[in-house]
Amino acid sequence: MKLFPESAYQQLEFDKVKTLLSGFCQLEYARNKAEQLRIHTRKDYIDTELRQSHEYHQLLINGIHFPNDYILNLAKELKLLSIPGAVLNGEDLMGIRKLAESMEKIFRWFDAERRTVYTALLKVVDGTYYEKNIIELIDEVLDESGQVKDNASEDLRDIRLSLFRKRNELRRLFEKIVAKLNKQGYLAEIEESFMSGRRVVAVFAEQKRTVKGILHGESDSRKTAFIEPEETIELNNQVYELENAERKEVYRILRQLTSRLSAWSPLLNTYHSVVGEYDFIRAKARLAREIRGEFPTLVDKAHVHLVQAVHPLLYLYNQRSSKPTIPMNLTLDEQSRILVISGPNAGGKTVTMKTVGLLQMMVQAGLLVPVHPSSQFGIFRQLMIHIGDTQSIEFELSTYSSHLLHMKHFMEHANGKTLFFIDELGSGSDPSLGGAFAEVIMQELARKHSYGIVTTHYLNLKVMAGKTAGILNGAMAFDEKNLQPQYKLLVGKPGSSYTFAIAERIGLEKSLIQRARKLVDDDQYRLDKLLNRTEQDLREVEKKDKELQKLLKENEKLRKEMEQVMDRERHKQQVEMLKEQNRISENRITYLKDMERKLKQMLVEWRKTDDKKKVIKEMEALLFKKNEQKVVSKMQKKIDEKFSEVGGEIRIGDKVKMKKNHQVGEVLELRGKKAVVKIGLLPMQVNLADLVVVKENAGTA
């Protein structure tokens, strides 16, 4: 993105954001990226950067560990690795091992599921692979502390074995000499010492000629002399030679290992860049968590749609001071490209401009921003800003001359991909003339389809915005009663400067205010008063709208509760209906079973009786419901004439009558609450509750 002027970074405080981001970086690679953070114009690149920041932000929020704990800076070591003949020491090689181990953890972290979820983070390792031979080569030679292992080569093993034996032999001999000299009273200290890598004894200076050996030096007080005993000179020489041989063999092994690892120098450099990239992404995610950043929608056109947006630095400042930060909503699209903000000074007009500009730069730099996720950001190719007094002493330009010089650049270079911000357009000159020029500048910027925000106190610009396509008015809310700015942007209506209202509230003499009013054009005064009243009315409407929305929410809550009650009642009714249907079904099943039994009985009677017509009539009555009630009544009457109800406990052998169909049978067996009753020739199970004991009337047998 092209910026005008170059100081736009500082004016919009993007440099402070970069400083914050750099503070979250651990690796030098990531800090360099943060300090040189670029603002991009390619949608695919910006989208990838934002998604990477968003995915890592989600990891932080959900407490999911990502294995990029590696914080070593190996730029110098990796550069040496690529130079033929270079030798890395054990510490350097262990650093390379940690780098390879970190990459192994990263590759293992991306299992099959995470590869589909964290696609943007996965792109960082696209095109590379994990090479296990790097760690295996280092582990063959070095131990966990970075020292060359004894078995790294046969020569080193033999040298160290000989060195171990010679040191033990030297130690035993030295202990004998120390004991002997101490007994003779020659020693100033009984502890052994080393000088130039050789074992020496500390003897009193006056005895230095008595003890045979090599004098290596004296103490600062000249009271103690350090002598290598004559008996240990040869052993010391042998130990020294073996130590020198060990150093040479270790150097040879490390040079060989460095040479073998140099084949993977490009891959290790890639590893170093990968862990640096993940450190940078983590820093962006930590910054997002600090400023409550979100992932907005990105569109490939000039467009700004902010929902609940706040200035990130102002948010951090207010958070430290326990103050609220008022969010804002703003939209710049093809129908409304330029917003003219009016209102009193110190009301938040400049902060609003800086918020939009800084958030746009942050998004195009791949940073999450403090907005609602439903916000939309377009992509602009250049950003122009004119805020504050830009008077140039060097070029002897006045404030207004400098202002016009900037406006000249705006009008010459602005296009449909330009986002501009102009604070106090037309200020610094005669109001009527400056206002005329400001109107022309706005017309030209609108003609070039540029997008931007302008702040002003000029009434003619407010009027122009109300009648020019592509330009709309806005105002910063102001509490006229308490003379307190609300720091809230109201889009759609121009705002008053509250000049006379503020003068009245602060207690300026009324005569002075009246004299000032007389000097102001009547139409202009009435317009400013109208804007004042309109803004206050708008605030009242918004207040009532909030109350209405609250009532609507409560009504919606009650509606949902009522629906839940009705759903429960409907469910209850459905359950009762199903129960009734089940009861009817049971009755039908009982009826069909009874029908089956009667038909079987009629079939038996058909075979036994000669009166076939009688059986046919009974079947017709049973099957076709003809004269069913008459038949039942006749059967009941017939049974009542023949049997009388006795009641009492039912026993095996008793005559019983079925209460439902008035048939009489004999109890063959009792089974709990049921009885097996023989009716005619067929036995059947009947509930005891449906039976009553009867006896045959006399004279009917």
Q: Which of 70-79, 242-251, 433-442, 639-648 has the highest mean pLDDT?
A: 242-251
304-498 homologous superfamily: P-loop containing nucleotide triphosphate hydrolases (3.40.50.300)
Q: What's the pLDDT tens digit per position in 644-667?
A: 888 888 888 888 888 777 788 888
Residue 338, beta-bridge partner list: 452, 471
Q: Is the pLDDT of residue 641 over 80?
A: no
Over residues 496-533, the pLDDT tens digits come to 555 555 566 666 677 776 666 665 555 455 555 555 56
Q: Class for domain 23-149+259-292, per CATH?
A: mainly alpha
What is the mean pLDDT of the segment spanning 333-357?
A: 85
Mean pLDDT in residue range 75-83: 90
pLDDT interval class at 632 (50, 70, 90): low
- CATH 1.10.1420.10 for domain 151-250, yes or no, is yes
Query: Can you name the residues that pair with 455 across neighbouring β-strands?
Result: 341
- Mean pLDDT computed over 226-246: 85
- Per-residue pLDDT tens over the stretch 114-149: 999 999 999 999 989 999 999 999 999 999 999 999
Condensed to tens digits (0 to 9), the pLDDT of residues 152-192 reads 999 999 999 999 998 898 888 877 877 887 777 777 776 66
Percent of the chain with pLDDT over 70: 85
Is the CB of residue 339 less than 8 Å from the CB of residue 472? yes
Cβ contact 338:473 at 8 Å: no
Domain spans of the chain? 23-149+259-292, 151-250, 304-498, 547-624, 627-696
Q: Do the Cβ atoms of 493 and 473 come closer than 8 Å?
A: yes
Q: Average pLDDT for residues 442-456, to the nearest whole number?
A: 91
Strands 382-386 and 2-4: parallel
- Flag the least confident range among 38-47, 280-289, 323-332, 513-522: 513-522
Average pLDDT, the chain: 83
For residue 509, what pLDDT is reported?
73
Rounded to 5°, angle at Cα 523 from 521 and 524: 65
Q: Residue 544 pLDDT more than 60?
A: yes
How sure is the predictor about 394, in pLDDT bands with cuts at 50, 70 and 90?
very low
User: What local confidence, expressed as pLDDT, does residue 604 receive?
Assistant: 81
CATH number attached to the domain at 627-696: 2.30.30.30
Distances in Å between the Cα of 543 and the Cα atoms of 478, 481, 540, 602 are: 14, 16, 5, 88
Residue 526 pLDDT: 52
pLDDT for 356: 95
Residue 505's pLDDT is what? 61
Three-state SS for 493? coil
Phi, psi of 489 (to 5 degrees): -85, 130
The reported pLDDT for the residue numbered 649 is: 87
Q: Residue 121 CA to chain centroid, in angstroms? A: 13
3-state class of 533 per DSSP? helix
Contacts of 289 (CB under 8 A, 6+ apart): 57, 60, 61
On the question of pLDDT at 400 being above 90, the answer is no
DSSP output for 213-264: EEEEEE-TTSSEEEEEEGGGHHHHHHHHHHHHHHHHHHHHHHHHHHHHHGGG
State the pLDDT confidence band at 300, using cuts at 50, 70 and 90: very high
User: 105-115, pLDDT tens digit by residue?
Assistant: 999 999 999 99
* Greater model confidence, 77 or 640: 77
23-149+259-292 matches 151-250 in fold = yes
